[in-house]
Amino acid sequence: MSAEARLEAHLAATGLVLPPPPQPIGNYVPFRIGGGLLFLSGIGPRHPDGSSTIGSVGRELTVEQGYRAAQQCGLNLLVNMRLALGSLDRVDTVLKLLGMVNAVPGFTEHPKVINGCSDLFVAVFGDAGRAARSAVGMASLPNNISVEIEGVVLIRG
């Protein structure tokens, strides 16, 4: 089954919706391709209606809400992958993710939050979606978003 078909099946099973391509909120591009790699800019949990999940995990948001925010970041990254490559079937491997969690001091469950994105990528790409990863806490993120994730993808062929 292709990555596109797995994505559609996963979305149908979970009720998730792919948002329109998010527009950058600064002076940068959403992705760059070089040396057979797709570099994805950090993106937040922007929903199809344009709203974002905001607030600090451990204060305004629970770990589960942070997980869903990271999942939304993953959906936004998938949209940008498809925009950059024309099809998710051109994704060979998700090599690296950097997940940043807007969290209160002393919060220690960053990996559980970023699993929202990682679990989505494994559902879509299988083992090729299991990336090397960092999950770190931040005192704040742009516009008070709860999570931001960036990635590096190996392009097929």
Domain-by-domain residue ranges, the chain?
3-17+30-155
Task: Name 43's bridge partners.
Answer: 149
Helices (H), the chain: 3-14, 63-85, 110-125
Task: Report the pLDDT value the prediction gives residue 15, as an integer from 0 to 100.
Answer: 84
Residues 6+ apart with CB under 8 A from 61: 53, 55, 69, 146
* C-alpha closest to that of 93 among 123, 126, 133: 126
Structure tokens at 61: 């948001």
Q: What is the mean pLDDT of residues 135-144?
A: 97
The answer to whether residues 91 and 124 touch, using CB atoms and an 8 Å cutoff, is: no
Three-state DSSP at 100 gives strand
Task: Report the pLDDT value the prediction gives residue 18, as an integer from 0 to 100.
Answer: 83
Longest Cα–Cα distance of the chain, Å, equals 45
Tens digit of each residue's pLDDT (9 = 90 or more) over 11-70: 788 888 788 888 888 899 999 999 999 999 999 999 999 999 999 999 999 999 999 999
Q: How many CA atoms lie within 13 A of 36 on its CB side?
A: 6
| pTM of the predicted structure, to 2 decimals | 0.94
Per the CATH hierarchy, to which homologous superfamily does domain 3-17+30-155 belong?
RutC-like (3.30.1330.40)
Given pLDDT bands bounded at 50, 70 and 90, which one contains residue 6? confident
**What letter would DSSP give residue 54?**
B
Report the alpha-carbon distance of residue 106 to residue 130 in Å, rounded. 27
**What letter would DSSP give residue 98?**
E
The answer to whether residues 99 and 45 touch, using CB atoms and an 8 Å cutoff, is: no
Task: Report the pLDDT value the prediction gives residue 7, as an integer from 0 to 100.
Answer: 76
Given pLDDT bands bounded at 50, 70 and 90, which one contains residue 112? very high
Report the alpha-carbon distance of residue 146 to residue 41 in Å, rounded. 16
10 or 26: which leads in pLDDT: 26
Tens digit of each residue's pLDDT (9 = 90 or more) over 65-103: 999 999 999 999 999 999 999 999 999 999 999 999 999
Burial of 86 (0-12, 13-18, 19+ CB in 10 A): exposed
Q: What is the mean pLDDT of residues 107-118?
A: 98
